[in-house]
Amino acid sequence: MTHDGADNRPIGVFDSGLGGLTVVRELRRRAPGETIVYLGDSARVPYGTKSLATVRRFAREDAAFLLRFDPKLIVVACNTASAAAVDMLAETLPVDVVDVIRPGAAAALAATDGRIGVIATESTVASGAYQRALTAADAAREVLAAACPLLVPIVEEGRDEDDPIVLHVLSDYLRDMQRFRPEALVLGCTHYPLLARAIGKLMGPKVSLISSAAATAEAVCRRLVASGQIGDGSGALQCYTTDDAARFAALGRRFGGCDVGTVRTVGTDELERPAAAAAGDTWENAS
Ligand code: DGL
């Protein structure tokens, strides 16, 4: 819906769970007038250990759910889904799609002329998406990408950053990265900014931590300004999860750094039905 030059249709954002809230937080800081509908597919997290075909199917279903709200743009706030499915989504969805990998890679290249490390899920690392995005811009760039599969379950479980188990797991994953001595380290999973303090402690103060969340939020705002689609609404956030809503709300508040408001559950069975099945389930009557 466009009123007086403002486009107050929502921005749709999805992730496999809580991690995409790091993108929502950055978006709300930069564009407080935007209404956001968020889907966290907590029932099927993690995506990062699943096959490409499965992640693509999940991403298609997540995006189809968000289309019910007539969004002006969809943010794939999940590196794993971005690596696997962003081109397919961009080709098939009737709205603009923003991923988290290109903005994250661009932010890392802007932060340093030196070595760049990337930590991400197994599937993101195996896809080579960050390595390609970084070396396409600068073929001589030294890049090391490391998979950290336990970090997503650790975040989804609500573990504190100072928890010895968290530090133990991180020390193990970051050993080779510490030897590589990057000047910038891309947190290539939207869950990882929630462990940024602990990661920063292990990597040392000279390493810039690059959150693709902030860079993605900036990319979204630039896109909306360029297309004249900035909203001037109330900045409402409506969250959906495919698992327990109370748990999502409690952890989202604690880790997302923002009040996630009322959280509703949508079953994965409903996501798996064709999008048309929920015709009439619009932003207006869902909030
Ligand atoms: N936050 C996701 C990412 O950015 C999730 C990973 C997962 O579900 O494994 O990759």
User: What are the sequence ranges of the domains in the chain?
Assistant: 2-99+215-286, 102-214
202: which residues sit within 8 A by CB, 6+ positions away? 167, 170, 171, 174, 178
209: which residues sit within 8 A by CB, 6+ positions away? 184, 185, 187, 196, 199, 200, 203
Least confident of 46-60, 166-180, 252-266: 252-266
Residue 274: band (very low, low, confident or very high) from pLDDT cuts 50, 70, 90: low
Identical fold, 2-99+215-286 and 102-214:
yes
Residue 279: band (very low, low, confident or very high) from pLDDT cuts 50, 70, 90: very low
Torsion angles phi and psi, residue 144, rounded to 5: -125, 125
Least confident of 81-90, 155-164, 195-204, 272-281: 272-281
Q: Inform me whether the pLDDT recorded for 273 exceeds 60.
A: yes
Q: Inform me whether the pLDDT recorded for 281 exceeds 80.
A: no
- 187 Cα to the center of ligand 1, angstroms: 11
Query: Is 189 an active-site residue?
Result: yes
Q: Inform me whether the pLDDT recorded for 14 exceeds 70.
A: yes
Give residue 4's pLDDT.
Answer: 59
Q: What is the largest CA-CA distance in the chain?
A: 55
The mean per-residue pLDDT over the stretch 109-135 comes to 96
Q: Mean pLDDT score of the chain, rounded to an integer?
A: 91
Point out the ligand 1 atom lying closest to the alpha carbon of residue 48. Answer: 9
pLDDT tens digits, 20-78: 999 999 999 999 999 999 999 999 999 999 999 999 999 999 999 999 999 999 999 99
In order, the DSSP letters of the chain are -EETTEE-SPEEEEESSSTTHHHHHHHHHH-TT--EEEEE-GGG---TTS-HHHHHHHHHHHHHHHHTT--SEEEE--HHHHHHHHHHHHHH-SSEEE-SHHHHHHHHHHH-SS-EEEEE-HHHHHHTHHHHHHHHH-TT--EEEEE-TTHHHHHHTT--TT-HHHHHHHHHHHHHHHHH--SEEEE-STTGGGGHHHHHHHH-TTSEEEEHHHHHHHHHHHHHHHTT----S---EEEEESS-HHHHHHHHHHHHSS---SEEE--HHHHHS-GGGGTT--HHHH-
**Residue having the nearest C-alpha atom to atom 2 of ligand 1:** 78
- 153 Cα to the center of ligand 1, angstroms: 10
Q: Inform me whether the pLDDT recorded for 135 exceeds 80.
A: yes
Which of 24, 39, 50, 79 best tests ligand 1's pocket when mutated (most atoms within 8 Å of CB)?
79
**What fold does the segment set 102-214 form as a domain?**
Rossmann fold (3.40.50)
Point out the ligand 1 atom lying closest to the alpha carbon of residue 80. Answer: 10
**What fold does the segment set 2-99+215-286 form as a domain?**
Rossmann fold (3.40.50)
- Rounded to two decimals, the pTM is 0.91
Give residue 275's pLDDT.
Answer: 52
- 3 Cα to the center of ligand 1, angstroms: 36
Residue 273 vs residue 128, higher pLDDT: 128
Query: Is 148 an active-site residue?
Result: no
pLDDT tens digits, 71-100: 999 999 999 999 999 999 999 999 999 999
Residue 277: band (very low, low, confident or very high) from pLDDT cuts 50, 70, 90: very low
| Ligand 1 surroundings by CB, under 6 angstroms | 15-16, 19, 45-48, 78-80, 121, 124, 152, 189-191
Residue 256: band (very low, low, confident or very high) from pLDDT cuts 50, 70, 90: low
Point out the ligand 1 atom lying closest to the alpha carbon of residue 191. Answer: 1
Contact 92, 76 (CB under 8 A): no
